[in-house]
Amino acid sequence: MVHQWDDALFNFYLIHDKRYDKSYTDSIEDAGKWIRSAGYDAMKQNLSEIGYFSIDEYYYVTPRDKSYETFLAVVTDEGYDMEEVYVGKSVLLHLLKK
């Protein structure tokens, strides 16, 4: 899942990498703009309705901002272990349900 795919620098770098294959986008889910400003309860509800809590393992790309902190709180409470695979201005998280 990518934090707002249409506005993500991740998108640019992914599609311009020489290893890129168009089929990769079939496995990428856009969280949408709502995730930028959602509080804890709204984020938990939206992620649940979208079905993310039924996924045992996934990666999440997000900028390091308030929404990142909210996302961490929600997924921790939902029983995920997280590993920060990359940390810069953006973060790549690997999430695995306990």
- The structure tokens listed for 41 are 């309860």
Q: What angle do CA 15, 17, 20 make, to 5 degrees?
A: 65
pLDDT means over runs of 10, the chain (98 residues): 61 78 79 88 95 90 88 96 90 92
What is the structure's pLDDT at 91?
Answer: 86
Is the overall model pTM greater than 0.85, yes or no?
no
Q: Which domain holds residue 50?
A: 5-97
Domain containing 64 — which CATH number? Answer: 3.40.630
DSSP state of 32: -
- Between CA 36 and CA 64 the distance in angstroms is 11
Instruction: Specify burial of residue 70 (Cβ count, 10 A radius: 0-12, 13-18, 19+).
Output: buried
Place of tokens 């089929």: 23
What domain count does the chain have?
1
